[in-house]
Each structure stands twice: as C-alpha cells, then as structure tokens.
C-alpha cells in the first residue's frame, strides 16, 4: 500500500470516528493536520464523541427520573427518602471523580502522543485504585447509613425508609466506581460509544427491576423503596461486568490482560493525582455544597423537599449537553496537546461550546414552557407541581451560562488545568449559592429563592471559567 493510499484510508477512518485512528505517529499527525484544515471535520469529530455521551447521560437522567416517578407513586415519604439520599450518594462517589479526570486526561495525552502502552499502564493503575477505594466507600456507606440520612434532615416518617434505601445502594457503590472508571479511560481513548451502550443496557434493566421489586411482580414481594435500591444495585453490578469485559476483551481499544503488571507505579500515580486531586477537591466542594443546599431547603418541610427533588432531577437532565460536549472537549484537547498542537486544542474547546449551547437552548425552551407537565409526571399534588414548575423556569434561563462553564471546564481538565474549575466551584457554591439560598429563604422566598441562588452561582462560574480559558495559560500545563 502506498503512502497516499494509507493516508486516504486513515481519512476515511477519521470521518467514521474510529478511535483506532490514533494508534501510531503517522495517523496521529495526519489526524491533527486534518482537524487544523477542515472545520467541518472538527465539528463532525466533536459530534462523534459527544452524541453517545449525551445520549448516555440523557437516558441515565431520564431513567433516574423514572425511578423517582415509580417511587413517588408509592407516597411522598418514599419520594423524599430517595431524594434525600441522592446528594450523600453523589458525595460518596465524588472522590472517584479525581481518578476519572486524571485517567481521562493522561490517557488522552498519551494517545495523542502515539504512546498506547503508557495509556494502558494508566488504565491498570486506575483499575487497582478503583477496586481498593470502591470497596472502602461501600463498607462505610452501609455502616453509617442511618446517621447520614438523619444528618440530611429526614423527618421521623422518612428516616427508616431513607436508611434502608441508603444501605442497599451503598453495597453497589463498588460496582458503580468500576463502570465509572472504565468509562473515563475509554473516553480518553476517544471511545464514547461503548460506555453509552453498557450504561443504557443496565439502566433499562433497572427500570424492569424497579417494576418487579417495587410493586411485587413475577412472584416477588412488594418491597417499595427497598426494591428500588435492590434493582439499582443489581443492575450496577451488571454494568461493571460489562465494562470489565470491554477492557479485557481481545482487540478492544484498551486490550488489557490479566497477565499484565498491576503493581503501583509511583510516577504514574503521582501524575494521576496531580491532575486528579484538584478535581477531587472540586467534586467534594460541589457535593458537600449541594448537600448543604438540600438541607437548607429541607427546613421548609416535606412538600417542598418533594418539589425540590423533582426540580433536581430536571436540573440533572439539563446538565447532559454540557457534560457530553465537555467530555468531547476533554478528549480532543488532551489528544491535541499530546500531539503538540495547542492551536487545535483551543479551537476544539470553542467549537464544542458553540454546538453544546445550541442544544442547551432547545432544552431551555422545554423547561420554561412545559415545566408543569414535567412535574405532573412525578406527583399529582397541585402545590408540589406549582412549586416545581416555577423553579424550572429559572433552570431554563441559566442554560447558556451552565453550558459554557461545563464545556470549557471540560476543556481545561483535558489540558490538566483542574485547579481553576476547583476555584470556580468553591467561590460559586460556597460563596454565592449557599449564602444566597439561606438569605433568600429567610426573606420568605421559599423554593424559588433557593433556585435563584443556584442561578447566580451558574452565572458567576460561566464568567470565571470563560475568562480562564480565554487567557490560554492552560496550553502550557504539563501532566
């Protein structure tokens, strides 16, 4: 095969979005040159990476909403119990965000540099850490379940339901961390399709499991809230098994072997933590801030908690475009910097932001005009529907700012610049959202006041992250 024929073949593979195009130096250089010269190819590559991640996140959010709908159909105490455990669950898993961000950034950088063996070494280190840390967090969550739910402000009729739900969910955290960690390294390679497939499958099974265990079908007893937790734990273990199969199967984009060296590598661990620890701190600040935010709203009573949980589910749904295009930006920025093309890295971030914002705006229209119909899916109580619908209008208005900060923060993480997203979250959440939420609630603005505080936080963070990205200092960071 001639050199020209090989380039043509690679070009076809680029256009189809195969992650294998980055396997050697010739392919790497041809790839980045094509992106530099062809705007439509750059947009297509962003879409290729983003749409599976967006579909995955969207479906996972929808499945989470279905969970809440199915639980909410039992009674409002069950809805509040599950809602109060969501923030502690996210907090418990936040520590793994450090490992995931570091893994994605390093894998992408090594792939961009054409060093696949180093990329595989990062995956092995990540897997060992996930297994150790995931086991520890699962055990702690199970032991302290009642204390956590009580701390969240659960009332006496909600506490026992929240405790049993949290205990069962905690058992499944080890499986969640495995699937999360392996999804992160696959995205670093440029493969967003595989995590989408196994996560969608597991969530479809979760809906079926909810139907069986919550309501007592196919000969099983009706378990209510405990049934919802059991279904989630079983299907998360299935997702973990599928993720490990993908990583170890012959011919995969990673292709690990059980015979490989799994001893700790101090150099790689240091590099992972240098990138990941600021992200871990960011996630801890974010999750603890959200936890305090939920506790602040919890002081308004069970009906407001139920409305707040509905809005939080919709708010999570609104994250999906920003998160998906942020993932695409992380991968492409990391790979472009690995190939020593910071100019393309910068263009990737801006292009991802532009496309992601279009989608976020379309979602904003739906939230603003159809909020009451969305809330009606969760409950038939008019006061809860009215409160939720009003708060959704605030979510709609902040969509452009939210999209900007998600996507450009993802680009910064791909460069290894994880400190500025940390600063952004610290100031925005603790200096703006929580302070204003307490103030607005004390002023009698209720749930609307809490969500106005959330909006102010998003506006600040979008300006902060955009300003950092525009400086270009992140292009010089070594990982």
The sign of the CA dihedral 21, 332, 105, 123 is negative
Predicted TM-score (pTM) of this structure: 0.77
Is 268:121 a contact under the CB 8 Å cutoff?
A: yes
Q: End-to-end alpha-carbon separation of the chain, Å? A: 37
Of 84, 107, 232, 92, which is closest to residue 161 (Cα–Cα)?
84
pLDDT means per 10 residues, the chain with 479 residues, are 48 42 40 60 86 81 72 72 76 71 88 85 88 89 87 77 87 89 88 88 89 88 86 92 90 79 84 84 82 81 82 82 91 89 90 91 90 83 88 91 94 92 93 93 90 94 95 88
Q: Please report how the helices 266-298 and 116-143 are oriented relative to each other, as an axis angle in degrees rounded to 10.
A: 40
Q: What is the pLDDT of residue 150?
A: 85
Task: Give residue 201's Cα distance to chain centre.
Answer: 17
Q: What is the mean pLDDT of the chain?
A: 83
- Whether the Cβ atoms of residue 390 and residue 91 lie closer than 8 Å to each other: no
Looking at residue 10, what is its pLDDT?
40
Q: What percent of the chain has pLDDT over 90?
A: 24
Predicted pLDDT at 406: 94
- CA–CA dist 121, 303 (Å, integer): 50
Q: Which long-range contacts (CB under 8 A, 24 or more apart) does 230-234 make?
A: 230/168, 231/206, 232/67, 232/168, 232/169, 232/172, 232/206, 233/168, 233/169, 233/171, 233/172, 233/175, 234/172, 234/205, 234/209
3-state secondary structure string across the chain: CCHHHHHHHHHHHHHHCCHHHHCCHHHHHHHHHHHHHCHHHHHHHHHHHHHHHHHHHHHHHHHHHHHHHHHHCCCHHHHHHHHHHHHHHHHHHHHHHHHHHHHHHHHHHHHHCCCHHHHHHHHHHHHHHHHHHHHHHHHHHHHCHHHHHHHCCCCCCCHHHHHHHHHHHHHCHHHHHHHHHHHHHHHHHCCCHHHHHHHHHHHHHHHHHHHHHHHCCCCCCCCCHHHHHHHHHHHHHHHHHHHHHHHHCCCCCCCCCCCCCCCCCHHHHHHHHHHHHHHHHHHHHHHHHHHHHHHHHHCCCHHHHHHHHHHHHHHHHHCHHHHHHHHHHHHHHHHHHHCCCHHHHHHHHHHHHHHHHHHHHHHHHHHHHHHHHHHHCCCCCHHHHHHHHHHHHHHHHCHHHHHHHHHHHHHHHHCCCCHHHHHHHHHHHHHHHHHHHHHHHHCCCHHHHHHHHHHHHHHHHHHHHHHHHHHCHHHHCCC
**What is the Cα–Cα distance from 337 to 330, expressed in whole angstroms?**
11
Residue 8: the pLDDT is: 53
Residue-wise pLDDT for 159-184, tens only, equals 888 888 889 988 888 998 899 889 98
């Amino acid at each position: 095969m001639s050199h020209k024929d090989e380039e043509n073949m690679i070009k076809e593979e680029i256009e189809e979005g195969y992650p294998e195009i980055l396997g050697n130096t010739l392919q790497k250089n041809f790839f980045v040159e094509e992106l530099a010269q062809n705007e439509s190819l750059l947009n297509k590559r962003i879409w290729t990476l983003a749409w599976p991640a967006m579909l995955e996140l969207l479906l996972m959010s929808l499945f989470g909403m279905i969970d809440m709908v199915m639980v909410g159909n039992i009674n409002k105490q069950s809805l509040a119990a599950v809602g109060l455990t969501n923030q502690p669950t996210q907090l418990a898993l936040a520590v793994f965000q450090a490992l995931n961000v570091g893994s994605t950034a390093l894998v992408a950088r090594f792939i961009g540099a054409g060093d696949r063996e180093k990329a595989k070494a990062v995956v092995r280190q990540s897997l060992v850490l996930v297994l150790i840390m995931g086991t520890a967090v699962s055990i702690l969550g199970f032991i302290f379940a009642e204390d956590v739910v009580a701390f969240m402000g659960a009332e006496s009729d909600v506490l026992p339901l929240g405790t049993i739900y949290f205990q069962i969910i905690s058992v499944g955290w080890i499986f969640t961390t495995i699937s999360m960690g392996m999804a992160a390294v696959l995205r670093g390679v440029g493969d967003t399709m595989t995590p989408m497939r196994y996560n969608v499958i597991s969530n479809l099974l979760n809906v079926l499991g909810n139907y069986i265990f919550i309501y007592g079908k196919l000969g099983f007893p009706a378990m209510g809230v405990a049934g919802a937790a059991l279904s989630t734990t079983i299907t998360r273990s299935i997702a973990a098994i599928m993720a490990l199969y993908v990583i170890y199967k012959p011919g995969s984009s990673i292709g690990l072997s059980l015979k490989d060296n799994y001893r700790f590598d101090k150099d790689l661990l240091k590099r992972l933590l240098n990138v990941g620890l600021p992200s871990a701190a960011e996630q801890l600040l974010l999750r603890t801030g959200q936890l305090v935010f939920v506790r602040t709203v919890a002081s308004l009573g069970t009906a407001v908690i139920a409305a707040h949980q509905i809005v939080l589910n919709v708010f999570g749904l609104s994250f999906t475009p920003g998160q998906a295009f942020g993932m695409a930006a992380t991968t492409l920025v990391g790979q472009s910097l690995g190939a020593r093309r910071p100019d393309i890295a910068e263009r990737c971030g801006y292009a991802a932001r532009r496309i992601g914002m279009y989608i976020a705006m379309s979602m904003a229209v739906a939230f603003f005009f159809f909020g009451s119909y969305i809330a009606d899916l969760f409950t038939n109580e008019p006061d809860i529907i009215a409160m939720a619908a009003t708060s959704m209008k605030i979510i709609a208005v902040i969509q452009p700012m939210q999209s900007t900060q998600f996507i450009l923060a993802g680009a910064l993480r791909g460069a290894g610049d994880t400190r500025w997203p940390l600063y952004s979250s610290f100031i925005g959440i603790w200096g703006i959202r929580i302070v204003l939420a307490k103030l607005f609630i004390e002023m009698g603005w209720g749930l609307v006041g809490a969500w106005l505080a959330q909006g102010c936080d998003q506006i600040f963070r979008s300006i902060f992250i955009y300003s950092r990205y525009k400086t270009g200092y992140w292009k010089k960071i070594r990982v």
